[in-house]
Each structure stands twice: as structure tokens, then as C-alpha cells.
Amino acid sequence: MKLKVTVDSMTYEIDVEVDEKQESGIGPVVIGGGSGPVPAAPATASVQATSSNAVVAPLSGQVARVLVEDGQAITAGEVLVVLEAMKMETEITAPADGEVKQVLVETGEAVSGGQPLVELV
């Protein structure tokens, strides 16, 4: 089976072969014959406050929503910002209880991985 995959605006055509001998419904998939390099999946990044108490973006993307404002009290795990990357949304949560000192981004803004999003007190 041939599939077309688009990564970072580059389209690759790949051949996918399913191992029919697997007894369970889930089995390994063999991929080969691609027309270009296939990048490794990104490591899962945990969001944490830096030494400056800034919550940073774990990946590059666009700010879909900002859910907090300056001076707002927050609890650990509360969603602060939602990033969109490759049509998927990632919720950026508070690492601990505290207060928002300053929101550093706005909806629609493009951000890079590691960029501060919200500064906490």
C-alpha cells in the first residue's frame, strides 16, 4: 500500500506493508521504499517552570488559546496556554500552584520550542 505523508510542508510517498501473519489485531508495520528521509518522532517533553519561573513551550507551534491572565491564581495541572502544531493541540499546564505574573504570548503568535509563554510567581 502506498501512502503520502506531509511533514513540514514536504510530501513523501512511502510504501507500507502490513504483516498479515500477526494473530492479534495489532502488529508491527514494516515501512520502506520512501522517497526521502523520515525524521524520528520527537521526544515527549514535559512542561516545567525554568529557574526564572517561566513556563516554556515544549515544541514549536502557534498559540491557539491563552486561558489565563496577569495576576490570576492557578493550581498545578491547570491549562495555561494551548499550542497548535501540525493540526494537533497541546495543552500547556501549570507545573505547580502559584500566580501568573505575566502572560508573554498572545493568541495567533508563532512560538519556538523553549520559548517562555507565561511567567509565574
Structural domain boundaries in the chain: 2-32, 54-120
CATH 2.40.50.100 is right for the domain spanning 54-120 = yes
Q: What is the DSSP letter of 112?
A: -
What pLDDT, in 10s, does the model give residues 52-77? 789 999 999 999 999 999 999 999 99
Stretch 15-22: mean pLDDT: 68
Whole-number average pLDDT of the chain: 81
Q: Is 3 left (phi over 0), alpha (psi -120 to 50) or beta?
A: beta
d(C-alpha 15, C-alpha 5), whole Å? 11
> What local confidence, expressed as pLDDT, does residue 3 receive?
80
pLDDT at 19 exceeding the cut of 70? no
